[in-house]
Amino acid sequence: MSEAHSEQLLAQVAALPPLPGVYRYFDAQEQLLYVGKARNLKRRVSSYFTRQHGGTRIGHMVTKIVRLETTVVRSEAEALLLENNLIKTQHPKYNILFRDDKSYPYLKISGIAAKDGTTDDPSQRYPRISYYRGSVDKNNRYFGPYPNAWAVKQTIELIQKVFRLRTCEDTVFAHRTRPCLLYQIKRCSAPCVGTISPEDYAEDVRGAEALLRGETDELLKKLETRMMAYSDRLEFEQALEVRNQITALSRVLHQQAVETAGDKDVDILAVRVQGGRACVNLAMVRGGRHLGDRAYFPSQVAEASGIYSAEEAGDAERAQQSVSVQVLEAFIAQHYLDVAVPPVLVTSEPVDPLLIEALTEQSGVRVSAVHQPREERRAWLDMAQANAGIQLARLLAEEGSQQARTHALAEALGLDLENLDELTAECFDISHTAGEQTQASCVVFHHHKMQHGAYRRFKIEGITPGDDYAAMHQVLERRYKPVAHAQQEAGGAEVTRRELRLPDLVLIDGGRGQVAMAREVFEQLGLDISRIVGVEKGEGRKVGLEELVFADGREKVYLGHDSAALMLVAQIRDEAHRFAITGMRAARARVRTGASRLEDIPGIGPRRRARLLQRFGGVRGVRDASVEDLATVDGVSRQLAEAIYRALR
């Protein structure tokens, strides 16, 4: 095996130290192939180049290695964390990879006021509860994370029922003159009009926080003590309000019916593997409440498992480790890099103690993993395993259907591809309203699914409003001119960077006119016109009657309304239309409301913009304000106020 590698690479391997660390393999195109950790870098890395791996996956990977990078660390636990950090950020080709589609939602309580509720900002004397997604800071209080938005909204409703905290925006709160509907239906205490004192509201906030932390027994006792104190002082109206809170809280706790057995924050992790795919189901318990679950599907399971087995050939116990364990450990290591880890993990498979040790070291929280739980934890795990099985079955059914559609499309169009899994299609659409804010979209289909991270929008300028042909000419030229240049520089060879490769199929939402425009662009750039296919609407523009129009002179093709190929084409075309129209509407809304103009004024950053919007209740209020009023905002000088005044008129 080593004969296929350069002397420089082999010398670098021979010089590696016998220390813990992380290694990275690259191919000739500088693509990252694999990231691994080792207790002994020299022994682990040398095994790749001294053993015969044959035609296995690891053998296939090793033949591609042309460069090696290593990082020495202090311990194997530190190496494990670095390994998964690199996997999550660099996306190597042969590692099990979990990609988060989005960040977790939190429940946010705004501001950190003094314990007695005193602060200069009226809106902060009465903190707001709200749904939040993004990075957390020290200026507010956050509870979570929650598995989905529904769980956050359900929790907010619970708090509204018991403690009646406000949910309105600060700008709305500052301009209210009478209570809103939430006050009438007993979901808000109307602090906006002074129906509750800052001290009593602060007490309700503390009660809500205790409920979110799962301190229900202590909370009920405090409420009872508070009710009796009001009663002793003959303040019967206040005592009645607290009694109603106790009643509402008791009702909510009864409805939840969660016997936590002392558990307040727990994550339940179950994994299922089938058909070369895997699913990890994560269920969350926070504050003693089961908040729901969320499914994750890793990529590259088969490739990574084959390499892992070969790596651990010298360790019989580790070599026998199932794919399920590998997937679960990969998820835990990658997921908790940027998500707070709870003190207890209930897992469907045994987890390496080294991994739990690393999580403890990283988080500063003593983490324990329970593999064979009992009683309620057992019920939680059984439920998570059932959900993992359901989600995986759904995924396999969808992927089977999608793969069938891909094969049908390739057959219908006569695409000659060695691997249909690699078929790539890009689809373009133009969207505008009477020529206003023309936008073009480009969506990408690859590996039998839409690749949302590769989508692009193009702002079309310098054309006659409403000229769709000119808009299509501009977007295709902007998209494929770099591709043509890359092909010329490569002398006709295949370009390695995916964004600079011509897709197998270029779909145009339109008929002969749009296809002719696309052909003109491709001929100018020297690209293959046979890849251009137009999707022409059928008679009466009815769905299922579309015909395919070709740029290379082939006759139009009608696939049939029940054709799997047409279903895939329609799916890609509809996604391009959706992506274009949402971009156009957003751009039009920004122009009409002036939202983007305020940010474009020199000297107006996020903080000053937020202060202006809060002071005047929105962009319209800023626009209507005088120079003198603008200058009263903190951080806005007279000169800047004049600039704002001129820019918004």
**CATH node for 266-393:** 3.30.420
Residue 543: pLDDT band (50, 70, 90) is low
Name the region of 176 (left: φ>0; alpha: ψ -120 to 50; beta: rest): beta
Residue among 603, 602, 620, 622 at smallest CA distance from 612:
622
- Mean pLDDT, range 55-81, rounded to an integer: 85
Distances (CA, A) of 300 to 54, 295, 297, 330, 390: 20, 17, 10, 12, 21
Tell whether the model's pLDDT for residue 260 goes beyond 50.
Answer: no
The DSSP letter of residue 557 is B
Residue 473: pLDDT band (50, 70, 90) is very high
Lowest mean pLDDT across 149-153, 167-171, 232-236, 521-525:
232-236
Tell whether the model's pLDDT for residue 257 goes beyond 70.
Answer: no
Query: Cβ neighbours of residue 209 under 8 Å, at least 6 residues apart?
Result: 109, 141, 143
Write out the two tokens for 439: 């936008």
Q: What is the pLDDT of residue 323?
A: 85
Q: What is the pLDDT of residue 444?
A: 94
Q: What is the pLDDT of residue 494?
A: 65
Share of the chain above pLDDT 70, in %: 86
Q: What is the pLDDT of residue 54?
A: 67
Pairing relation of β-strands 344-347 and 368-370?
Answer: parallel
Q: What is the pLDDT of residue 216?
A: 66
Q: What is the pLDDT of residue 313?
A: 54
Domain boundaries, the chain: 2-76+86-90, 105-256, 266-393, 420-590, 594-647
Q: What is the pLDDT of residue 588?
A: 59
- Mean pLDDT, range 129-153, rounded to an integer: 83
Burial environment of residue 455 by CB neighbours within 10 A (0 to 12, 13 to 18, 19 or more): middle
Tell whether the model's pLDDT for residue 122 goes beyond 90.
Answer: no
Q: What is the pLDDT of residue 261?
A: 45
Pairing relation of β-strands 105-109 and 141-143?
Answer: antiparallel
Q: What is the pLDDT of residue 117?
A: 47
Q: How many residues does the chain have?
A: 649
Pairing relation of β-strands 532-536 and 505-508?
Answer: parallel
Tell whether the model's pLDDT for residue 342 goes beyond 80.
Answer: yes
The CATH number of domain 420-590 is 1.10.10.10? no
Q: How far apart are the first and last CA of the chain?
A: 72
The CATH number of domain 594-647 is 1.10.150.20? yes
Residue 132: pLDDT band (50, 70, 90) is confident
Per the model's pLDDT, the better-predicted residue between 120 and 453 turns out to be 453
Query: Edge-to-edge strand order for the sheet containing 21-26?
Result: 32-38, 21-26, 67-72
Q: What is the mean pLDDT of the chain?
A: 82
- Mean pLDDT, range 241-265, rounded to an integer: 60
- Mean pLDDT, range 199-222, rounded to an integer: 79
Per the model's pLDDT, the better-predicted residue between 553 and 541 turns out to be 553
Residue among 340, 109, 118 at smallest CA distance from 206:
109
Q: How many CB atoms lie within 10 A of CB 374?
A: 9
Per the model's pLDDT, the better-predicted residue between 134 and 452 turns out to be 452
CATH topology of domain 2-76+86-90: GIY-YIG endonuclease (3.40.1440)
Q: What is the pLDDT of residue 407?
A: 87
Residue at 69: amino acid letter: E
Q: What is the pLDDT of residue 249?
A: 64
Question: Cα-flanking dihedrals φ and ψ of residue 572, to 5°?
Answer: -65, -45
Tell whether the model's pLDDT for residue 500 goes beyond 90.
Answer: no
Per the model's pLDDT, the better-predicted residue between 274 and 593 turns out to be 274
Tell whether the model's pLDDT for residue 291 goes beyond 50.
Answer: yes
Per the model's pLDDT, the better-predicted residue between 79 and 596 turns out to be 79
Q: What is the pLDDT of residue 338?
A: 76
Q: What is the pLDDT of residue 455?
A: 92
Please check whether the two domains, 266-393 and 420-590, share a CATH topology.
Answer: yes
- Mean pLDDT, range 321-333, rounded to an integer: 87
Rounded to whole angstroms, the maximal C-alpha distance in the chain is: 93
Report the C-alpha gap between 645 and 623 in whole angstroms. Answer: 7
DSSP assignment of 77-103:
HHHHHHHHHHHHHH--TTS-B---SSP
Residue among 633, 584, 569 at smallest CA distance from 607:
633
112-120: long-range pairs with CB below 8 Å, 24+: 112/138, 112/139, 112/140, 112/141, 113/202, 115/202, 116/198, 116/199, 116/202, 117/197, 117/198, 117/199, 117/201, 117/202, 118/198
Report the C-alpha gap between 610 and 604 in whole angstroms. Answer: 10
Residue among 550, 648, 518 at smallest CA distance from 591:
648
Share of the chain above pLDDT 90, in %: 16
Tell whether the model's pLDDT for residue 410 goes beyond 80.
Answer: yes
Per the model's pLDDT, the better-predicted residue between 352 and 238 turns out to be 352
Residue at 240: amino acid letter: L
Go through 578-599 and write b for each residue having 16 or more CB atoms within 10 A of its CB, e for each that does not.
Answer: ebbbebbeebeeeeeebeebbe
Report the C-alpha gap between 99 and 296 in whole angstroms. Answer: 8
The per-residue pLDDT for range 574-617, each reduced to its tens digit, is 999 888 888 777 665 555 544 446 766 777 877 788 788 777 76
Write out the two tokens for 230: 């009001």
Query: Cβ neighbours of residue 54 under 8 Å, at least 6 residues apart?
Result: none
Q: What is the pLDDT of residue 90?
A: 87
The per-residue pLDDT for range 519-539, each reduced to its tens digit, is 999 999 999 899 999 988 877
Write out the two tokens for 357: 């040790």
Tell whether the model's pLDDT for residue 115 goes beyond 90.
Answer: no
What is the number of alpha carbons within 13 Å of residue 219 lying toward its C-beta?
25
